[in-house]
Structure 1
Amino acid sequence: MNKGLIYLIGAILYVLFPRDLVPDFLAGWGWLDDAVVLYFLWRYYRRQRLLRQSANRSDQTGHTVDDRQSRTGDANPYAVLEIEPGASKEEIKAAYRRLAAQYHPDKVQHLGRDIQELAETRFKEIQQAYDTLMKQA
């Protein structure tokens, strides 16, 4: 049985069960523990959705992250930094800073090892594209 389904069933039973930690007939206080359970369930499903999205994310060329890993050296630096060809140095720096902040491995430390590896690979791509464009400019 799916782990998420077990959590969902457990949370629903807890919320609907009349004898929980704080009885529901105490309006407000009785619903507080139910709200906490529902919050943690929401957080679990949100994290799972983010993990799936990160694993299936495609770049603008339609390649998956795994495809991108194999062609890191062949990537168009403008496409990697998501800017138009011929962008100014300021635009290149701004794009680099924005993407570096988004994909820095330290920013995704709490999301698990797989996401950290993907972020590290993407960050290296961004760094390589930035270095290439700054040498050309």
Structure 2
Amino acid sequence: MSALGSGLAAVAGLAIALLASRPPGLLRAASRLLLNVLRSVPELVWAAILLVAAGLGPMPGTLALALHTTGVLGRLMAEALENAPPQTAQALRWAGASRWQVFAFATLPQAAPQLLSYTLYRWENNIRAATVLGVVGAGGSARC
């Protein structure tokens, strides 16, 4: 549960972080609001909602971890992308690189250590949270 939930959250968090780290505008505000909503609801509440929707099993627990962690990682990743030193990106822009080339060859390599560190830290937190979710029924059925 923790590995899959963390993996899903890392992918979704990075996707939303790309939108949340853009220049100010409606898209940035909407993505930051989404991250705040996902982050503000604890895993246990997400699990309770998903237990009603999906029933017992590992899927509600995995999705609960993924939803909450997406909000946390998205916020942390957006901050890391915004705080990457701009000199390399600026040099690539002056050389005529596209927006995606600047991201792939300047911003992402500079922010990657922080992104990986945040992801591994949240995975560690999700290992503990998965234990709690398993006890309350969001990690599997109680059949022997």
The structure having more radius of gyration, on CA atoms, is 1
Greater helix fraction, Structure 1 or Structure 2: 2
For normalisation by structure 1, the TM-score amounts to 0.33
For normalisation by structure 2, the TM-score amounts to 0.32
